[in-house]
């Protein structure tokens, strides 16, 4: 029945799309000149927009040239003309005549408003959240917690989003989130790459959270999509900024951003370099409940990196309607990991049998590059009538060697010293075409397709020291090859009036996945085709109150490390492996959202329900004191949740942001005659206070709490932590000095327990307190923008 339902909905979308095929062919030319009302001088690059008379929504627009002159072509015959520029009062022209297809506005004089800029800044700080038909948009440019931070830290301040200590991103408590950069997959958002490491706080304009994506987006990601929008400087002339940062633990960087824009070209570049160190304290307990033997381990793991990053790109405006963009990004990291873990083995009487420590010395070189080519074609009849074609290619490599040495300080044992070698290569290429055609202000039709090719090779070997020589361990050595191709095509149709809107869509995806273990000559092939329908609607009950509802069908395809059966031997008593036979997860997601806006208070509440089949869970087994963890498809998960986000402007100098999320879920499934049926719940909350002090000083404090939750085999602990930041503008706003402290009380500790009849496993990990101090300065027409080195996730 579900498949039949998807077919019916797909046909409905196609019918709806065809039914909207109508357009007006009449072209009208609107022209004029924008002048300063006080001096009579031309206002360069003033914005001119044509608005629908009824809905006041933009139809099309243009920017005046250096002489204040503008011309706009439109097919609409009923509109308003709105003219604006920073530092001037907006002017709306309602009455004009059309003669021979031309509207000549003549000279338009704008009056200066010296207070306008400050008012815009205040509104930008107040308006962090926007709502669109199928997404929520969080503007982060004025979020103090982003100062000196990485993209992962910014995401951790977005409502509904959580970033774990290890950098794993979840949405409403669930994984399987797809991360996009400017609407496209990127090596910068790859778990196997630098994990958003090249994206810094100054580069991010806004973050779109799409919990129920429409058919336009990839069906990948059962929890939804997070789309990070990167700033693109549109100011003409030369702009730039330079930043210096330092921190504890070591986090030192220098960054330079440059932008040069003319009428035809926009050349942009960024150059960054630095050194960072991220220690991680960990503790593990492995207890055999049959014979009561215990292995304890405790230590600090390090991954230190010297990094270099270079971005160069250009936009070429062939004419008013055609733009070509070409950019490249190259990064190089030199990595070393001096780590030590202390072990102790206890017998059934809790007496120490042996003690030893395991030292690791790791060195790696990690090259990474990406190209991005894009062609955008705008059409005269409507500003949203566009054709967008793009090609994105990326490569990430890792050439790594590790030495592990075991030294006994009490008792004896049979552990050997070991060496590992890793040669990892990943290449991904994406080709995409999107076409958007608004047939009127209310009706819009979209269609497009894309093809993604992902090739990975992981050559991994382990050698054991035997008799003074290192001998390759065939059981732990292999070449794993991974190749996945996904072809997709979609269409959507939408109707959006002043009070009510609806968007329907369907997406088809065909997946061809192949894995191969070269040493053991074992291959696995999976091919499947799927339809993913979507439906979204919104109702604006009043200016203050709106309701949104949505449905989408999603997929979560197993990643490389989910499939690769080989592992890192950093801790050889807690081993995580992949599963080449892992199947994808499928999720049907439903959501109802209400938005309530007042002068000083805004509230957003949502009720959601998700039904997931073939859920991927990590199952732990125990043998000879070693815990083996492996992903496996087990049954279904039904999750129901409530989410509330709110913002209160208590005073001009004091703003509160808060969110609360509660979910309850029911798990059903079995593995090898063992039932895993249970129900549980979890809740989290966050409160953020932003305080504006005299002398251009801003202070921000946030507190976070996440409750404990039952897992398939045990429990994850609660987490409580706080962050702090302070920022001071200097040099007439050109310079910014900022200080931020993450996890002020060093209380953010991730703990988990696995409790089974035959064994008990406890693990904890703590990153600790991070302190960052930065200075940035903007020159030319630029503003101060911070650059900071972010951290890899893998």
60 with 206, same domain: the answer is: no
Among 26-40, 521-535, 551-565, which range has the highest average pLDDT?
A: 521-535
Using pLDDT thresholds of 50, 70 and 90, give the confidence band for residue 195. very low
275 with 142, same domain: the answer is: no
Final residue of a structural domain among 213, 230, 247:
230
Task: Find how far residue 248's CA is from the centre of its chain.
Answer: 26
108 and 69 in contact (C-beta within 8 Å)? no
Cis peptide before 194 (omega within 30 of 0): no
Helix (H) or strand (E) holding 274: strand 265-277
- Which pair of structure tokens corresponds to residue 675? 């039932």
82 with 153, same domain: the answer is: no
42 with 139, same domain: the answer is: no
- Which pair of structure tokens corresponds to residue 719? 């987490």
Please choose, from the candidates 614, 621, 752, the residue with its C-alpha nearest in 3D space to the C-alpha of residue 674.
621
Between CA 216 and CA 434 the distance in angstroms is 9
Look up the CATH number of the domain holding residue 178. 2.170.130.10
575 with 595, same domain: the answer is: yes
244 with 377, same domain: the answer is: yes
586 and 633 in contact (C-beta within 8 Å)? no
Half-sphere exposure of 661 (CA within 13 A, CB side): 21
The answer to which of 222-231, 364-373, 422-431, 593-602 has the lowest mean pLDDT is 222-231
233 versus 70: which is more confidently predicted?
A: 70
Specify if 18 maps to a domain.
no
Using pLDDT thresholds of 50, 70 and 90, give the confidence band for residue 164. low
Give pLDDT, residue 763.
94
72 with 136, same domain: the answer is: no
Give pLDDT, residue 120.
33
Give pLDDT, residue 794.
37
Give pLDDT, residue 154.
73
503-525 tens-digit pLDDT: 999 999 999 999 998 888 888 89
SS3 labels along 25-71? CCCEEEEEEEEECCCCCECCCCEEEEEECCCCCEEEEEECCCCCEEE
- Which pair of structure tokens corresponds to residue 457? 């090779």
Specify if 120 maps to a domain.
no
Place of tokens 């990474």: 368
Specify if 15 maps to a domain.
no
Strand ranges (E), 411-544: 418-438, 443-466, 469-472, 478-496, 500-517, 522-540
Give pLDDT, residue 23.
37
For residue 739, is pLDDT > 50?
yes
Give pLDDT, residue 388.
93
260 versus 456: which is more confidently predicted?
A: 456
92-103 tens-digit pLDDT: 888 888 888 888
Strand ranges (E), 567-712: 574-576, 585-597, 601-613, 616-623, 626-633, 636-651, 654-668, 670-671, 674-675, 678-693, 697-706, 709-710
Between CA 237 and CA 781 the distance in angstroms is 7
Q: Is 249 helix (H, G, I), strand (E, B) or coil?
A: coil
Give pLDDT, residue 295.
93
99 with 138, same domain: the answer is: no
Using pLDDT thresholds of 50, 70 and 90, give the confidence band for residue 315. confident
Using pLDDT thresholds of 50, 70 and 90, give the confidence band for residue 165. very low
For residue 205, is pLDDT > 80?
no
Among 5-9, 475-479, 610-614, which range has the highest average pLDDT?
A: 610-614
Work out the average pLDDT over 177-195: 59
Q: How far is CA 55 from CA 13, 58, 78, 190, 755, in A?
A: 25, 9, 12, 41, 60
Final residue of a structural domain among 85, 110, 135:
110
Give pLDDT, residue 185.
62
Using pLDDT thresholds of 50, 70 and 90, give the confidence band for residue 320. confident
Number of domains comprising the chain: 3
Among 156-160, 540-544, 718-722, which range has the highest average pLDDT?
A: 718-722
Residue 284 has a CB neighbour count (10 Å cut-off) of 20
Look up the CATH number of the domain holding residue 40. 2.60.40.10
The boundaries of the domain holding residue 452 are 237-780
Final residue of a structural domain among 185, 203, 230:
230
370-391 tens-digit pLDDT: 888 989 999 988 888 999 999 9
The answer to which of 191-205, 221-235, 250-264, 397-411 has the lowest mean pLDDT is 191-205
455-475: burial string, b at 16+ Cβ within 10 Å, e else: ebbbbbbbbbbeeeebeebee
For residue 633, is pLDDT > 80?
yes
258 with 308, same domain: the answer is: yes
Using pLDDT thresholds of 50, 70 and 90, give the confidence band for residue 194. very low
The answer to which of 139-153, 185-199, 352-366, 744-758 has the lowest mean pLDDT is 185-199
For residue 5, is pLDDT > 50?
no
- Which pair of structure tokens corresponds to residue 314? 């250009």
Give pLDDT, residue 18.
40
337 with 473, same domain: the answer is: yes
Q: What percent of the chain has pLDDT over 70?
A: 84
The answer to which of 558-567, 672-681, 693-702, 739-748 has the lowest mean pLDDT is 558-567
347 with 437, same domain: the answer is: yes
Q: What percent of the chain has pLDDT over 90?
A: 33
Specify if 790 maps to a domain.
no
Specify if 19 maps to a domain.
no
Mean pLDDT of the chain: 82
Specify if 590 maps to a domain.
yes
Work out the average pLDDT over 610-627: 89
Specify if 13 maps to a domain.
no
Look up the CATH number of the domain holding residue 733. 2.40.170.20
651 with 587, same domain: the answer is: yes
Specify if 7 maps to a domain.
no
């Amino acid at each position: 029945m579900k498949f039949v339902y998807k077919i019916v909905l797909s046909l409905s979308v196609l019918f709806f799309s065809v039914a909207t095929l109508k357009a007006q062919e009449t072209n009208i030319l609107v022209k004029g000149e924008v002048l300063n009302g006080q001096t009579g001088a031309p206002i360069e690059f003033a914005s001119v927009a044509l608005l629908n008379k009824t809905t006041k929504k933009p139809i099309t627009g243009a920017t005046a040239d250096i002489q204040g002159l503008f011309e706009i072509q439109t097919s609409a015959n009923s509109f308003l003309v709105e003219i604006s520029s920073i530092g001037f009062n907006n002017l709306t022209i309602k009455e004009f005549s059309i003669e021979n297809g031309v509207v000549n506005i003549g000279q338009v004089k704008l009056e200066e408003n010296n207070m306008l800029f400050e008012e815009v800044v205040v509104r930008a700080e107040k308006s962090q959240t926007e709502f669109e038909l199928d997404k929520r948009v969080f503007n982060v440019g004025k979020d103090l917690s982003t100062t000196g931070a990485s993209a992962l830290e910014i995401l951790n301040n977005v409502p509904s989003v959580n970033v774990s200590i290890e950098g794993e991103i979840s949405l409403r408590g669930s994984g399987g989130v797809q991360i996009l950069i400017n609407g496209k997959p990127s090596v910068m958002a790859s778990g196997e790459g630098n994990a958003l490491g090249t994206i810094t706080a100054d580069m991010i304009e806004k973050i779109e959270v799409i919990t129920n994506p429409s058919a336009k987006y990839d069906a990948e990601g059962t929890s939804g999509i997070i789309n990070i929008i990167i700033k693109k400087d549109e100011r003409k002339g030369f702009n730039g900024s330079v930043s210096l940062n330092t921190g504890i633990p070591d986090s030192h960087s220098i960054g330079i951003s440059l932008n040069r824009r003319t009428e035809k070209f926009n050349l942009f570049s960024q150059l960054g370099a630095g050194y960072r160190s991220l220690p991680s304290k960990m503790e593990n307990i492995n207890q055999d409940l049959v014979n009561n033997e215990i292995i304890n381990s405790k230590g600090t793991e390090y991954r230190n990196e010297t990094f270099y990053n270079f971005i160069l790109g250009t936009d070429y405006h062939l004419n008013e309607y055609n733009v070509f963009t070409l950019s490249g990004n190259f990064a190089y990291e030199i990595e070393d990991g001096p780590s030590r873990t202390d072990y102790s083995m206890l017998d059934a009487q809790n007496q120490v049998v042996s003690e030893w420590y395991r030292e690791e010395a790791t060195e790696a070189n990690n090259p990474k590059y990406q190209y991005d080519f894009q062609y955008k074609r705008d059409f005269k009849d409507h500003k949203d009538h566009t054709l967008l074609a793009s090609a994105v290619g990326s490569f990430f490599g890792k050439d790594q060697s590790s030495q592990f040495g075991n030294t006994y300080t009490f008792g004896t044992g049979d552990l050997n010293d070991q060496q590992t070698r890793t040669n990892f290569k990943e290449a991904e290429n994406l080709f995409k075409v999107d076409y958007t055609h608004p047939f009127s202000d209310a009706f819009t039709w979209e269609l497009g397709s894309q093809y993604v090719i992902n090739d990975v090779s992981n050559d991994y070997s382990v050698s054991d020291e035997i008799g003074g020589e290192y001998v390759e361990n065939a059981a732990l050595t292999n070449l794993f090859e991974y190749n996945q191709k996904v072809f997709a095509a979609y269409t959507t149709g939408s109707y959006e009036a002043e009070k009510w809107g609806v968007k329907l869509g369907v997406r088809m995806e065909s997946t061809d996945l192949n894995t191969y273990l070269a040493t053991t000559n074992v291959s696995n092939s999976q091919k499947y085709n799927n339809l993913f329908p979507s439906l979204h609607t919104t109702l604006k009950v009043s200016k203050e109150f709106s309701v949104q509802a949505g449905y989408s069908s999603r997929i979560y395809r197993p990643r490389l490390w989910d499939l690769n059966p080989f592992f890192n031997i950093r801790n050889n008593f807690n081993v995580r492996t992949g599963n080449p036979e892992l199947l994808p997860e499928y999720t049907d997601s439903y959501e109802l959202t209400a938005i309530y806006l007042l002068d000083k208070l805004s509230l957003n509440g949502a009720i959601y329900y998700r039904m997931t089949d073939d859920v991927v869970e990590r199952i732990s087994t125990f043998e000879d004191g070693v815990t083996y963890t492996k992903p496996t498809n087990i049954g279904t998960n039904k999750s129901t949740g409530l989410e509330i986000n709110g913002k209160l402007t208590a005073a001009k100098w004091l703003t509160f942001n808060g969110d609360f999320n509660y979910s309850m879920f029911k798990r059903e499934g079995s593995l090898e005659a063992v039932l895993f049926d249970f129900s549980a719940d979890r809740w989290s909350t966050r409160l953020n206070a932003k305080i504006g002090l005299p002398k251009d000083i801003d202070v921000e404090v946030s507190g976070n709490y996440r409750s404990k939750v039952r897992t398939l085999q045990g429990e994850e602990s609660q987490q409580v932590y706080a962050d702090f930041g302070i920022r001071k503008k200097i040099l007439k706003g050109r310079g910014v000095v900022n200080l931020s402290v993450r996890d002020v009380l060093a209380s953010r500790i991730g703990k988990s327990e696995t409790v089974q009849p035959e064994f008990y496993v406890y693990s904890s990990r703590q990153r600790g307190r991070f302190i960052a101090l930065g200075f940035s300065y903007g020159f030319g027409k630029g503003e101060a923008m911070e650059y900071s080195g972010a951290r890899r996730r893998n």
